[in-house]
Structure 1
Amino acid sequence: MVNKKRRYDLDWFRVIAILAVYVHHICMPFNGDKFHIMNLDSSKLLDDIMVFFEQFRLPLLFLISGTGTMLAFSKRTWFQFLKERSTRLIIPLVFGIFFIIPPQTYYEYIDKYTNYIEVYKSGLFPTNHLWFIENLFVLSVVLIPLILLIKSSKSIKFINALDVISSKTYGILLWVIPLLIGTILLKKIYPDESKNITNLSSTFYYGYFFISGILFATSKNIWKYLKLHRKLNLIAFIVSSILFYTYYFLPNEYVSPYVSKSVRWSIWYVVCALVSWTLITTLLGYGQIWFHKKSELLKKCNEAIYPFYILHQTIIIVVGYYIIQLQMSISSKIVLLVFTTFPLIIIIYRLLIYPFKITRILFGMKKRDKFNK
């Protein structure tokens, strides 16, 4: 039942999404939100732009990861799959927590430490941006029974029913309804914005996209319908975006006397989920036209993007700490941060990670002779 054909569109979207995460973290010190390092001045305009784009970067990654998980599972037993996930996720996560994240902690609390060793003495070892890897591993393991069920003949009627729903003009848009309901209900119990796996509102939200990726990988027809209805999904995305920013900029005093705070937050979750789902389904439709071909550039990017993700935030924080001290405009600092951190990440990757077996393992890469097999 699983479509095992390599999806170059998803490979491209994985690269693009992680580069979008990189750009997001480049801008974080300057948008006035809480980050590990903060510029003295901030830009409200930058924050207004970033709040929109943060609605779909990670959901897209989770959906792609769900699809990739199903494809990986189709080639392995559940035990082989668990071993492969542990090698490619747990090893980089543990290595990252003890060697990649500590510089972030040091520069975040630099006024409290007299030297770098005190970071280790403090016992403070957060996952920071590596929460994505942690959540991905937990979801992959916890959902093994679901994957086994979907792979079995018992799920044929369910998959066929999804195909029938998705074939309708608005069918794929209907997939957002369980996401809306589940998010609103769980946010009442788990209102925290934390990405911790124990925060079930966040885990459900990203998990829904992950499971959707699994289901997309199981059915060939859904990809056909994503492509067929791409224009309608685009219109839905434009409408959702208008609703998103209309509500975002709506003065609080216009609605607070008539609508409770709980309802206002529920409306916010709705517009956020609508933007996420409609854009991702639109991209998955148009991606089959734009990015359907294999290329050497994609092969190189696809291999490098995982180490790039693991490294990027640490490099941004270390270099950014010194850049935010400069007497420059916010835009100049952002440009300088890009032109210093991006080449540095690539140099570290090419010289210290790519050539060596041990570093490839630590950063979750496949063996060089097995890549793309």
Structure 2
Amino acid sequence: MVHIKSGCIAWSLIANIMFGSANFLLSYCNSQPGTSPWGVVGLVWLSSGFWGFLAAIYYKFTMGTIFFNDRDVELYKTRHEQLPGGAFYSKADGSSVSVRSKLLTLAGSLFIGWSQVMMQRAFATDPQSTGPLMAVSSSDIMVVGVFCHFVYSERLTFMQAVAIVIVLTGLVIMAAFDSTVGHFLGFVYAVLGMLTFASSMLATRYTCIEGMASGSRFTGRMLMMFIMGFACCIWQWSEQGYAIKDGDDVMAMFFWPCMSGMGQFIGVIALNNALAYPSTAVVNVIVASNSIVGLVLAYFALGVVPTPAKLTGMFIVVIGVVLITVWKQDTPLTHKESILEEAIVEPLLGGGHRTPVTVAGDGGKKSSKL
């Protein structure tokens, strides 16, 4: 039996609160006077991607490029040692990473960015259902599991298949029992956001298999996010999107969007620290339920309560996502499970060192760094 350390629980709770709060702030800013939807999104991208900009500068001066693999990292660690033949370490030039991996890394940022736009539209269309709509976005792992099952023949376990049915049941309840057009449209936007977020997970899956280093994936994605945010902010500035008028909520126009971006970044750091402990299932259960944080904040800060159908569907979806992400700790991870575990971390805007885990393949066991 694996002993769950207090540090693991603490980091998981921080990630849960940060992700839930970041999504709530995105929803909150939509409802305040003077805010421009694209202006808010631009600041979220800029504030979260700023750290990728700093990381890009660091890796450019240390590694020589922002695109490198795990082997390049190992060589960098021995840069002061003489290599066989009398040669010394030379910086990476990016050739160790395929063009496809580079493009998918950058595309992952576009998928994440568009997912945030769709979620913002969902919150704006149905502001009363912030928590349930966040639960919809957390069900993206279901799409990845089904995709890998049919495309890569990475078979789902019976428990995971049942969990997917549970998630689908919750989604159907949320969609079918709301008769108003606005509520249904908000649900549709949330589903589109979930699908594009799942696309970013699949992009991460490919770059992970190709051996691209986690620090490189993080830097590439976040740098692209920074560029997207910078371009969006310039565009909104030229369109008077940040012009302040009487009665405008300045905090919602500038401060809270930046806090949302920072919350996402801090959440990723906390999640990576939590996953350093051998209690992956516990971490996933806690983090996957971050929609409850959004529900609580929406109730106490704005006084909004979702419809009974949305609440029921939300809790069913959360239960399903929890079941999907729970794997036995005393058995080796299958190839699919190891990829899904990696995908849970990276699309949430992160990267970072993961300890090696044992992966059970068809021909035996192998080690994989996530």
By percentage of residues, which structure has more helix? 1
More relative contact order, 1 or 2 (CA 8 Å, 6+ apart): 2
Please report the TM-score for the alignment, with normalisation by the length of structure 2.
0.32
